[in-house]
């Protein structure tokens, strides 16, 4: 019975270890401090990162460090004594460390000071007040902290951050969008309208516009702390298309797009008219359909490690999901039809009326 329990515990331990970021997804560590104390290693599970750190100092030494991960796990190394400072990373901004310095204490046998700067212009500095000891400028690789390693007793004998390595490419593929009605969320909008009336003289009015429409897409994803803002998407984007006489949503061929993008699309038109009599008077209209979608999606996050010298390293894959907001429009449909003008409508006031309802660029 005891043996079975032992193997059960061992199995659980192996499962926990298997969920950690693997060693080939960890950048090289740079330890600072002495050689005494008990070895510790605290690494986040795959998909998760460090979200907060607390550091305690006493005199020239860092005596305690507590680390928090995005999955709720936390661990304390050393002890909680005297002055404490903490730093919480802004996950919405994918905040990461851009510069890091570690100092040993004046005798070189313990950690003395930690200082770092972040992508969100944050600064964290705690430890010895003396600058006489040389600092170690640490290579932060990607800058995304996923754990800590070192040695500790009642103080921090030796310490290093663990970072994800620098990435050559980060992208989502195998993206499957949620189901949606191909003929829904398509609003008919009038771009322009004009009345061309006869006022006793022949003329050739032109019903035209050179306006543009701003199409947009915006993705959110479940790994902002890991992927940051440099992620791209290999996806078949929905687009508004005219098939025969029907306007509906279609999907494009697979393309690589940025997380958020706006693009101008020409929606201009031009129709020539000839007005020589009241029988030639026309009513012209230009219309299009504007489509909006809010969809969920599932796919795969691809992390391709950069080994340097143009060489890719480990290609690591994680299931992912998120949302897509999409705005697009159809081509413009413009037409002119004969219009009979009554006596009340005739005269100077009816020579030309234009009613433009085109939204300002960027509006939908």
- Supply the DSSP string of 242-268, one letter for each residue: EETTEEEEEEPPPEEEESEEEEEEE--
Count of CB atoms within 10 A of residue 230's CB?
13
Is 277 a residue whose pLDDT tops 60?
yes
First and final C-alpha spacing in the chain: 69
Is 260 a residue whose pLDDT tops 80?
yes
- Mean of pLDDT values over 25-43: 96
* % the chain with pLDDT above 70: 86
The domains located in the chain, with CATH, are 23-165 (2.100.10.30), 169-338 (2.170.15)
Confidence of residue 228 (pLDDT cuts 50, 70, 90): low
209 contacts 275 by C-beta, under 8 angstroms: no
pLDDT 10s digits, 104-137: 998 999 999 999 999 999 999 998 766 566 788 8
Q: Which two tokens stand for residue 24?
A: 């080939």
Measure the CA dihedral 220/226/230/232, to 10°.
Answer: -60
CA 45 from centre of chain: 21
Q: Which two tokens stand for residue 284?
A: 């012209």
- Mean of pLDDT values over 200-213: 95
- Mean of pLDDT values over 294-303: 98
Q: What is the pTM of this model?
A: 0.80
Is 10 a residue whose pLDDT tops 60?
no
Confidence of residue 346 (pLDDT cuts 50, 70, 90): very low
pLDDT for res 321: 96
The b-or-e profile of 164-191 (16+ CB within 10 A means b, else e) is bbbbbebbbbebebeeeeeeebbeebeb
Is 8 a residue whose pLDDT tops 80?
no
β-strands 311-329, 186-196 pairing: unpaired
pLDDT for res 340: 59
pLDDT 10s digits, 229-241: 679 999 999 999 9
CA 220 from centre of chain: 5
Is 331 a residue whose pLDDT tops 90?
yes
């Amino acid at each position: 019975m005891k043996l079975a329990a032992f193997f059960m515990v061992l199995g659980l331990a192996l499962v926990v270890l298997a969920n950690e970021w693997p060693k080939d997804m960890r950048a090289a560590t740079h330890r600072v401090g002495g050689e005494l104390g008990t070895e510790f290693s605290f690494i986040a599970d795959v998909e998760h990162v460090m979200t907060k750190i607390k550091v305690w100092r006493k005199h020239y030494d860092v005596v305690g460090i507590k680390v928090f991960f995005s999955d709720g796990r936390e661990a304390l190394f050393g002890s909680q004594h005297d002055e404490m400072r903490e730093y919480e990373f802004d996950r919405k901004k994918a905040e990461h460390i851009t510069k890091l310095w570690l100092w040993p204490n004046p005798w070189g046998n313990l950690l003395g000071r930690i200082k770092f700067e972040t992508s969100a212009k944050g600064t964290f500095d705690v430890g010895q007040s003396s600058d006489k000891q040389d600092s170690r400028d640490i290579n932060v690789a990607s800058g995304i902290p996923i754990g800590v390693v070192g040695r500790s007793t009642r103080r921090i004998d030796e310490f290093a951050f663990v970072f994800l390595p620098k990435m050559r490419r980060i992208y989502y593929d195998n993206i499957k969008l949620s189901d949606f009605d191909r003929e829904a969320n398509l609003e008919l909008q009038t771009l322009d309208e004009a009345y061309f009336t006869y006022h006793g003289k022949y003329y050739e009015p032109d019903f035209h516009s050179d306006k543009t429409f701003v199409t947009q897409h915006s993705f959110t994803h479940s790994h902002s702390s890991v992927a940051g803002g440099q992620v791209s998407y290999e996806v078949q984007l929905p687009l508004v298309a005219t098939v025969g006489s029907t306007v509906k949503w279609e999907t494009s061929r697979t393309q690589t797009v940025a997380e958020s993008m706006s693009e101008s699309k020409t929606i201009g038109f031009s129709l020539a008219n000839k007005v020589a009599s009241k029988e030639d008077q026309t009513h012209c209209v230009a219309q299009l359909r504007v489509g909006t979608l809010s969809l969920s999606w599932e796919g795969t996050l691809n992390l391709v490690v950069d080994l340097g010298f143009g060489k890719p390293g480990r290609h690591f894959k994680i299931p992912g999901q998120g949302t897509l907001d999409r705005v697009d429009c159809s081509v413009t449909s413009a037409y002119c039809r004969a219009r009979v003008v009554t006596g009340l409508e005739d005269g100077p006031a009816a020579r030309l009326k234009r009613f433009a309802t085109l939204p300002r660029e960027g509006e939908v």
